[in-house]
Structure 1
Amino acid sequence: MVYEYHKTTKHAQHKYARSLGYMDWNTQPDPFRVYNGAKTIKLPLAIQNSTPPYHLLDAELPSAPVVKESISQLLQFSMGLAAYKESDGGSWAVRCNASSGNLHPTETYLVLPPLMQEQVGKSSIYHYRPKDHALEELASFETSFWKKLPEGSFIVGLSSISWREVWKYGERAFRYTQLDAGHAWQAFIVSAKMLGWKVNRLDSVSDADISTLLGLTQKTRFFEDENPDMLFVISPKDVNPKLSLDALVDSVPLKFEGIANKLSPSMQKWDIIPAIEEATSDAQIPQPTTLRSEITRTPSRESKDVVLNRRSVHVMQKDISTITKEQFHNMLSSILDSQDAKENSAHLAIFIHQVEGYQSGLYILVRNFRDRDDLEKEMDAKFRWSHTEFEHLYLLQTRDLCATSKAISCSQDIASDGAFSLGMLCNFTDQLQMYGAHRYKELYWECGAIGQQLYLEATSMGLSGTGIGCFLDDDMHGLLGLTNNRYQILYHFTVGRGYVDSRIATRPAYES
Structure 2
Amino acid sequence: MESCLDYHLKTAHTYESVRRPHYLDWSNYPSPFKFYRGVKTFPLPPFKFRGQETLDTLYRLCSDYGSDSLTLQEVANLAFSMNGVTKVEDFHGEPFAFRASPSAGALYPFELYLFLRSVEGLPNGLYHYQPVNHSLELLVAGDLFEPLKGALCAEFTGNCVAVVTTIYGRSAWKYRARAYRYCLLDSGHMVANGVAYLRSLGLDATAVSLFKDSRLNALLGVDGTREFATVALLPERPALFWGDEELPPFNYPPSEPVLRRPVREPLVEEAHRAGELADCQFYRPFPGSSSLFPEVTSPPLGDVILKRRSRREFTGRAMPFETFKHLAESSLTCFPSDWGFPKCNLYLQVRNVDGLQSGIYTPSNGRLELVQAGDFGPHVSYLCLSQRFVAYANVNVVFTYNFGGTCRDYRGALLEAGALGENLYLAAEAFGCGACGIGAFYDLELQAFLGLPPEELPVYVVSVGVLV
- Normalised TM-score (structure 2): 0.89
What per-residue deviation string (whole Å, max 9, x for no partner) do you get for residues 253-281 of structure 1? 42333211111211344332222222222
* Superposed CA RMSD: 2.6
Q: How far 1:110 sits from its partner (Å)?
A: 0.9
Deviations 1:144-199 (A, max 9, x none): 74999665442111111000100011111111111111111111101112322222
AA partner of residue 413 (structure 1): R
Count of aligned positions: 452
Cα distance in 1 between the residues matched to 2:87 and 2:126: 27
Shift in Å at residue 60 of structure 1?
A: 7.8
The equivalent position to 1:10 in structure 2, one of 9, 12, 31, is 12
Distance 1:168 1:88 in 2: 19
Cα deviation digits, residues 348-394 of structure 1 (max 9, x gap): 1111111111111111124xx6xxxxxxxxxxxxxxxxxxxxx3310
Match for residue 38 of structure 1? 39
Name the SS of the counterpart of 2:399 in structure 1: strand
Tell me if 1:495 matches 2:440: no
Do 2:312 and 2:434's aligned partners in 1 also have CA atoms closer than 8 Å?
A: no
Residue number in structure 2 paired with 1:330: 326
In 2, are the aligned partners of 1:295 and 1:330 still within 8 Å (CA)?
A: no
Q: Which consecutive aligned stretches of 4+ in structure 1 deviate over 4 angstroms post-superposition?
A: 59-65, 146-151
**Cα distance in structure 1, aligned partners of 2:66 and 2:270:** 45
Unaligned runs of 5+ in 2: none
**Alignment-derived partner of residue 265 in structure 2:** 270
For structure 1, which runs of at least 5 residues remain unmatched after alignment? Answer: 370-390, 500-512
2:99 pairs with 1:95: yes
Residue 420 of structure 1: how far off its partner (Å): 1.3
Pair 1:446–1:114, CA change in 2 (3 A) = same
Quote the residue 1:140 is aligned against: 141
Q: Deviations over 1:302-361 (max 9, x none)?
A: 21111111111243223x3x2111111111112111235864121211111111111111
Separation of aligned partners in 2, 1:150 and 1:478: 45
The residue type paired with residue 442 of structure 2 is: L
* Alignment of structure 1 residues 424-443 onto 2, 5 Å: 424-429=399-404, 432=405, 436-443=406-413
Task: Return 197-206 or 445-454, whichever deviates more.
Answer: 197-206
Correspondent of 2:447 among 456, 477, 492: 477
CA contact (8 A) 1:64 1:195 kept: no
Q: CA deviation at 1:233?
A: 2.0
Contact (CA 8 Å) 2:400, 2:457: kept in 1 or not? yes
Could you tell me which amino acid in structure 2 is paired with residue 412 of structure 1?
Q
Q: Which residue of 2 aligns with 1:387?
A: none
The equivalences for 1:339-354 within 5 A come to: 339-340=336-337, 343-354=341-352
Q: Which deviations, in whole Å up to 9, do the C-alpha atoms of 1:52-83 show, x marking residues without a partner?
A: 22233238889775221111111112221111
Cα deviation 1:21-73 (Å, max 9, x = unaligned): 132111010001111111111101023x4422223323888977522111111
Q: Could you tell me how far 1:296 is from its partner in structure 2?
A: 2.6
Instruction: Quote how far apart the aligned CAs of 1:88 are.
Output: 5.0
Counterpart contact for 2:69–2:160, Cα < 8 Å: no
Q: Work out whether 1:288 is the aligned partner of 2:294.
A: no
Contact map agreement 2:84 2:99 (CA 8 A) in 1: yes
Looking at structure 2, the residues matched to 143 and 163 of structure 1 have their Cα atoms a distance apart, in angstroms, of 28
| Residue correspondence of structure 1 range 78-157 to structure 2 within 5 A | 78-86=82-90, 88-119=92-123, 123-142=124-143, 145=146, 152-157=158-163
- CA distance in 1 between partners of 2:440 and 2:155 (Å): 42
Is 2:56 the counterpart of 1:52? Answer: no
Please, what TM-score do these two structures have when normalized by structure 1? 0.82
Measured in 1, the distance between the counterparts of 2:175 and 2:157 equals: 43
Shift in Å, 1:478? 0.8
